[in-house]
Amino acid sequence: MNFWFKLSAAFAVYSCSTIATAATVEVLHSWTSEGEAKAVEVLKSMLAERGHTWKDFAVQTGGDNAQGVLKQRIIQGKPPAAAMMKKFNLQRWERLGFLQNIDDIAVSEHWDDTLFHAAEDAIKFDGHYGAAAVGIHRTNWIWANKKILDKVNAKMPETWPEFFAVAEKIKSAGYHVVAIGDEADQLGTMFESMILSVGGPELYRKAIAELDYGAIKSPEMSRVFDMARKLQPYLYMDSDSSWNKATKLVIDGEAAFQFMGDWAKGEFSVAGKIPMKDYICAPVMQTRNQFLYNIDSLAMFKLHNAQEIDAQKDLASAIMSSNFQLTYNRYKGSIPTRQDLDLTGFDICAQMSKQELLNAEATNAELPSIAHGLAATELVQTAFNSVISAFFHDPNMSSDQAALTLSKDMRKGAYMM
Ligand code: GAL
C-alpha cells in the first residue's frame, strides 16, 4: 500500500468516527517554507474531511512577526480559532483568560498518558490544556552535504577538533563551510547548541533552563563565545538569507554544513534528497544523546459561536490523532509529540531523534530551546538572540563582555512583561 493511499484511508477512518458540524477554522501560523507548507496541507485536508473550512492566516518570515500580528487581532477582539505559539506565550494568554479550556478532549483521548513529558509541559498550564502539540523539533542538529564530505575524503565530525580539520579541507576545496543567514534567530539557534556542546548539559541547564544569571556570565559561558569566535571565519553569513535559503546552499552543494533545527529536513525532503545518501543528519558535535527541544503547538482561543467551538475542538483532536502525528511530522522534520506511536516509515534522522530524546530523558539531558521560545518568555528569547547576533557583528566584543551583556540583557528581559 503506498503512502498516499494509506494517508487517504486514514483520513476516511478519522472522519467517519466523529460527527462534524461544519464551520470555518482560522489558523495563524508562520509555516511558510516549502517543506512546512507541505506539512500544513496535512492538517488542512484533515479538517476538510470533517467538513470544516480552513482559513489560512499565514505570516511570512518567522515567529516574531506572527506573534505581533496575533496581538493586534486579540486587541481588536478578533482572535483566530488557533494560533501557532510556544509554551511561554501560551501561558501568558492562558493567564490573561483568552484560551479555550480543552480538557474534555484531553481527558477522553488520554493526552496525559500518551504525550512526551516535554510536550505535556509545553501545552498544559495549571493542570489545564489550552493547546494541542503538533510536533517535537530538535535544535542541536548539524546537516551536511554528503558529496562534499566524500569529495574531501572526510567523515562527519563528532568533535570540535575534527570539525575544524574538516572545515579547512572544505575551504581549500573551494566550498563554503557553514551556510547561515544573518538573522538573530539563526545565530541564536547555532549558539544554543554550542552552549550544550562546549559547556555541557550542566551549563545549559543552569544558565538557560534555570536562568541563573551567574552561570550566564561565567567563565564557562565565555569559553562558548571563544568557540563561536573560532567558528566565525568558517561561516558563510549571507545577509539576505532565511534559514531555508541557507539549507538550499547545502542541498545544492555550495556549502557543506548548516547548524539548524530539523525543520531543515523538510527542505531536503521536498528536494527529493535521501538522508545518509545525499545528506547527513547528526547531533551537533559532542551533543550525542542530548536533546534541545522546540515544541510547536497551536493555542486554542476562546470563541463565542458554538459551531466554531466544535470545529476548534475537532482541530485539537485531529492534531493529536495518530494519523496526523504520523503524517505531518514526516513532512515537517519533527517527531510526534505522542510517545505511544511507532515510527516505522519515518527516516533514519527521525528514528535517531526519538531514540536520543528517550536517552536524554533518562540522563537529564533533555533541555528547552531558548532560541525558539521553550526556555523563557519572548522578551528573554529576543534578548538572547540579539546579544548573540551583536557578538557576531562586533569583532571587538570579547567573550567576557559578551557573556556579561547576555546575562544583563536576559535578566532585563525577564523583568519585563
Ligand atoms: C521555529 C518553529 C519551527 C520552524 C522554525 C523556522 O520557531 O518552531 O517550526 O518554523 O521556527 O525558523
Is residue 360 domain-resident?
A: no
- Closest residue by Cα to atom 7, ligand 1, is 372
**Are residues 398 and 257 part of one domain?**
yes
**Are residues 160 and 120 part of one domain?**
no
Please tell me if the CB atom of residue 243 comes closer than 6 angstroms to any atom of ligand 1. Answer: yes
Please tell me if the CB atom of residue 31 comes closer than 6 angstroms to any atom of ligand 1. Answer: yes
Is residue 115 domain-resident?
A: yes
Alpha-helix residue ranges (DSSP H) falling in 252-398:
264-270, 306-320, 322-332, 348-362, 378-393
**Are residues 125 and 49 part of one domain?**
yes
Q: What's the pLDDT at 60?
A: 62
Please tell me if the CB atom of residue 268 comes closer than 6 angstroms to any atom of ligand 1. Answer: no
Per-residue pLDDT tens for 232-253?
999 999 877 899 999 999 999 9
Is residue 357 domain-resident?
A: no
Is residue 239 domain-resident?
A: yes
For residue 136, name the pLDDT band (cuts at 50, 70, 90). Answer: very high
Q: Relative to the CA of 295, which ligand 1 atom is closest?
A: 8
Q: Relative to the CA of 189, which ligand 1 atom is closest?
A: 12
**Are residues 258 and 120 part of one domain?**
no
Is residue 73 domain-resident?
A: yes
User: How high does pLDDT run on average in the chain?
Assistant: 92
For residue 138, name the pLDDT band (cuts at 50, 70, 90). Answer: very high
Domain limits for position 303 = 10-138+293-351
**Are residues 125 and 271 part of one domain?**
no
Please tell me if the CB atom of residue 191 comes closer than 6 angstroms to any atom of ligand 1. Answer: no
Torsion of CA 254, 257, 260, 264, to 10 degrees: 50
Is residue 363 domain-resident?
A: no
**Are residues 255 and 175 part of one domain?**
yes
Q: Does residue 65 surpass a pLDDT of 90?
A: no
**Are residues 330 and 267 part of one domain?**
no
Interhelix angle 306-320/322-332, rounded to 10 degrees, is 70
Is residue 267 domain-resident?
A: yes
**Are residues 210 and 62 part of one domain?**
no
Is residue 229 domain-resident?
A: yes
**Are residues 212 and 190 part of one domain?**
yes
Per-residue pLDDT tens for 313-350?
999 999 999 999 999 999 999 999 999 999 999 999 99
Total domains present in the chain? 2
Q: How many Å lie between the centroid of ligand 1 and the Cα of residue 88?
A: 15
User: Which residue among 351, 385, 400 closes a domain?
Assistant: 351
**Are residues 305 and 211 part of one domain?**
no
CATH code of residue 320: 3.40.190.10
- Find where cell 496525559 sits: 112
**Are residues 387 and 274 part of one domain?**
yes
**Are residues 234 and 169 part of one domain?**
yes
